[in-house]
Amino acid sequence: MIAGSVCHAQTAPANTNEGADARTLEPVVVTATRIGQPGFDLPLSIDVIGAETIQQNNPMVNLSEPLVRVPGVVVQNRQNYAQDLQVSSRGFGARSTFGVRGVRLYADGIPATMPDGQGQTSHFDLSSAERIEVLRGPFSALYGNSSGGVISVFTENGKPGLALSPYVQFGSYGTRHYGFKVSGQQGNINHVEDVARFDSDGYREHSAVRRDRANVKLRITPDADSSLTMVANAVRMVDVQDPLGLSRAQFEADPRAADPNALAFNTRKSVRQHQFGLNYERILDAANSVTAVLYGGERSTLQYQAIPVAAQTAPTSAGGVIDLARQYGGLDLRWTYQGTWAGRPLQWTAGISYDDLNEDRRGFENFVDGQLGVKGRLRRNEDNRAWNFDQYLQAQWEPAARWLLLAGVRNSSVHISSDDHYIAPGNGDDSGSAGYHALNPVLGATYRLNREVNLYASYGKGFETPTLNELSYRPGAPAAAGFNFGLKPARSENVEVGVKARIASRVRASLAVFHIDTEDELVVLSNTGGRAVFQNAGKTRRDGIELLVDGNWNNGIGTLLSYSLLRAVYADPFCSGPCSASTQVPSGNRIPGVPRQTAYGELSWRHPASGFSTALEGKYVGKVYVDDVNSDAASAYFTANLRFGLEQQAGRWQLREFARIDNLADRQYIGSVIVNEGNRRFFEPAPGRNYTVGVTASYGW
């Protein structure tokens, strides 16, 4: 493992020659401004994680592996592949009960976040990833709805010739991960194809998973001024088991157990997704270029929940089985100019984007003639649609040698509608629609104090609409069918100041301080049996500090320290449920699901001649409250991990072996929480000491 595993937008790529001028060591980023350029001068927080960090000595299964290095971003592996990861950026997205929300996701420029703000990571391919860019702060708003942060994964390009790379891994709890990658370039065609299967019995009872994944990237350059990139990926997961959360007493009795209801109802989920995208780029002249992105796909989900039979007798109940079929697509068109104004460098990008999601949502009872965990009678049937049409403009100008100004604006319109086809006694027509609009400006400035130190400040507005899943149930006992169109979008104001520094071409450091005010914060009102109801809860406030120090020293030694401090609180009092003494949430209460402190440290060493590498990792996560009233919390924890790697080259063959041990001290701790879970089954335990070993063999010609 190389030193400098998080490139803070100015860190050298792994293959850079030592001693080169520091200004040439900065990797290009595109997520910040949509124009490839170094991020050191930009007035924003953006980090880059390179391929070697992502792929070497790691399982390459979950985003939680590489993103642990990025300050301000928390990715919790729930040990529950039926519910995906919990991803949050500066506290946005921490409340998610399903998928990823509050953070925009992209894979090779193709949105993995739908127009309603709901995203998925199951099709992200880490084994062929070239880099991951992570943008936080005000400028995230230039990506539209639910942009508390932006995470972009980019697939590598094939090298000249052809390379075959099979890999296999084994680990604790019956974990197996194996795949095959083909890559190369022949003439003007560059390609990468990767297929993989991931199997695990799971750390907890009733948490087995099988996930099949494929990713293909094909890039054609018909001439020097144009390129066409085609991206296709697919993922399939069948009957992935869901152990559900545990109560405090259940966790203390047996953290590896599943909740009894998970066994009784055989809670599980099946997912199938296919997606295809095109990215066409054309240079018109020395100053102007155009880009067009077109994509489409479909995703089906069948989920069996632990809704008690008695709770499904109400006429408004949607049953205990969710059956979703989604078709989605969109386009993004933009024009880029790079030239001068008043004799100084100027660049701008103007564009429009349209995204559309059509959903066939059906609900069924989860029992037949007393048998639980099987699809029964139809209880919900509706066609839902979410679409957005946005226009954006951003510009960068350097009025003087020491100054850089960056500004932008995005006009967003999001529309959601539901056409109800299930009309029965006591369950009327719940059709309806809602529209949300926002004009979000952002502005930032960088002052170059000297060649090695930049100071910056930025300001912006953002907004976050409720997703289809968050709108899907109205308040009631049990949660009523039909959309909760009374929900309003949350709107935020973001301020950030910071400093970026390079020290002797060996140390990269950054410090960011931010303040965020949000109105009409979307929060969980109730969450029972996998069915969450949401409400608006007035104002919230987030104040934080993020620090990153990344060093690459002599003799192959590397160091990394990432630290975040976040105070995320409710600024207005409200009731978490029907108002009573037990549901009163006073101002100053902590927002649940958000740790106050997180830290990651790493000490690595690579022997320059033998190909041997090793590293000691340490991770700290502070206390996490489980509900709005702060009645309980997952305790703070610290874990240490150890990894080893070895590389050999023999002719056209390259071999890489690795082994890693996670949670060296065999700590028992809670890895994630289910916010406001109505049965107080808040806790999702993390595994004890566990191991992973793997081998990758590459043959090229």
User: Helix and strand tally (H, E) in the chain?
Assistant: 5, 44
- Residue 123 is predicted with a pLDDT of 87
Whether 575 maps to a domain, the answer reads: yes
Q: Per the structure, how many domains does the chain have? A: 1
pLDDT above 60 for 178: yes
DSSP string, 17-73: PTTS-GGG-PPEE-TTTSS-EESTTSSSEEEEEEHHHHHTTS----THHHHTTSTTE
**Residue 199 forms beta bridges with which residues?**
176, 210
3-class secondary structure per residue, 587-601: CCCECCCCCCEEEEE
In this prediction, residues 473-485 reach a mean pLDDT of: 73
Nearest to 683 by CA among 250, 303, 95, 265: 250
Please, what is the average pLDDT of the chain?
91
Helix, strand, coil in percent for the chain, rounding step 5: 5, 60, 35
> Is the backbone of residue 467 left (phi > 0), alpha (psi -120 to 50) or beta?
beta
Check if the beta carbon of residue 149 is closer than 8 Å to that of residue 103.
yes
- Residue 19 is predicted with a pLDDT of 33
Whether 434 maps to a domain, the answer reads: yes
- Residue 313 is predicted with a pLDDT of 85
- Where are any strands of DSSP class E within 553-596? 557-570, 574-575, 584-585
- Whole-angstrom Cα distance, residue 497 to residue 409? 20
Instruction: Considering only residues 148 and 492, tell me which one the structure prediction assigns the higher pLDDT.
Output: 492
> What 8-state DSSP symbol labels residue 641?
E
- The 10 Å Cβ neighbour count of residue 403 is 13
- Whole-angstrom Cα distance, residue 430 to residue 418? 8
pLDDT above 80 for 2: no
Tokens of 511: 């410090």
Whether 290 maps to a domain, the answer reads: yes
| pLDDT more than 90, % of the chain | 77
Query: Which structural domain range is residue 658 located in?
Result: 6-700
**Residue 557 forms beta bridges with which residues?**
605
Check if the beta carbon of residue 283 is closer than 8 Å to that of residue 289.
yes
DSSP string, 601-634: EEEEEE-TTT-EEEEEEEEEE--EE-STT---EE
- The 10 Å Cβ neighbour count of residue 159 is 12
Whether 408 maps to a domain, the answer reads: yes
- Over the stretch 595-614, which tens digit does the pLDDT of each residue have? 999 999 999 999 988 899 99
- Residue 24 is predicted with a pLDDT of 36
Check if the beta carbon of residue 340 is closer than 8 Å to that of residue 387.
no
| pLDDT more than 70, % of the chain | 95
- Over the stretch 376-419, which tens digit does the pLDDT of each residue have? 999 999 999 999 999 999 999 999 999 999 999 999 999 999 99
Q: What is the CATH number of the domain that holds 613?
A: 2.40.170.20
Whether 597 maps to a domain, the answer reads: yes
Tokens of 675: 């916010």
Tell me: cis bond preceding 478? Omega within 30 of 0 counts.
yes
In this prediction, residues 474-496 reach a mean pLDDT of: 83
Instruction: Considering only residues 28 and 660, tell me which one the structure prediction assigns the higher pLDDT.
Output: 660
Instruction: Calculate the CA 266 to chain-centre distance.
Output: 28
Question: pTM of the predicted model, to two decimals?
Answer: 0.93
In this prediction, residues 440-462 reach a mean pLDDT of: 97
Check if the beta carbon of residue 383 is closer than 8 Å to that of residue 357.
no
- Residue 473 is predicted with a pLDDT of 83
Nearest to 373 by CA among 243, 267, 529: 267
- Whole-angstrom Cα distance, residue 176 to residue 659? 14
Instruction: Considering only residues 569 and 96, tell me which one the structure prediction assigns the higher pLDDT.
Output: 569
In this prediction, residues 585-604 reach a mean pLDDT of: 96
Nearest to 327 by CA among 363, 301, 364, 292: 301
Query: Where residue 4 falls among pLDDT bands split at 50, 70, 90?
Result: very low
Nearest to 302 by CA among 316, 286, 314, 319: 319
* Sequence-distant (≥ 6) Cβ neighbours of residue 184 within 8 angstroms: 158, 159, 160, 161, 162, 163, 190, 191, 700
Check if the beta carbon of residue 116 is closer than 8 Å to that of residue 386.
yes
The lowest-confidence range among 414-423, 470-479, 678-687 is 470-479
Whether 1 maps to a domain, the answer reads: no
- Residue 459 is predicted with a pLDDT of 98
In this prediction, residues 568-595 reach a mean pLDDT of: 91
Whether 204 maps to a domain, the answer reads: yes
* Sequence-distant (≥ 6) Cβ neighbours of residue 608 within 8 angstroms: 555, 556
Tokens 């609409």 sit at which residue? 465
In this prediction, residues 364-385 reach a mean pLDDT of: 95
- Residue 14 is predicted with a pLDDT of 36
Nearest to 670 by CA among 77, 66, 73: 77
Instruction: Considering only residues 283 and 503, tell me which one the structure prediction assigns the higher pLDDT.
Output: 283
In this prediction, residues 505-534 reach a mean pLDDT of: 87
Whether 237 maps to a domain, the answer reads: yes
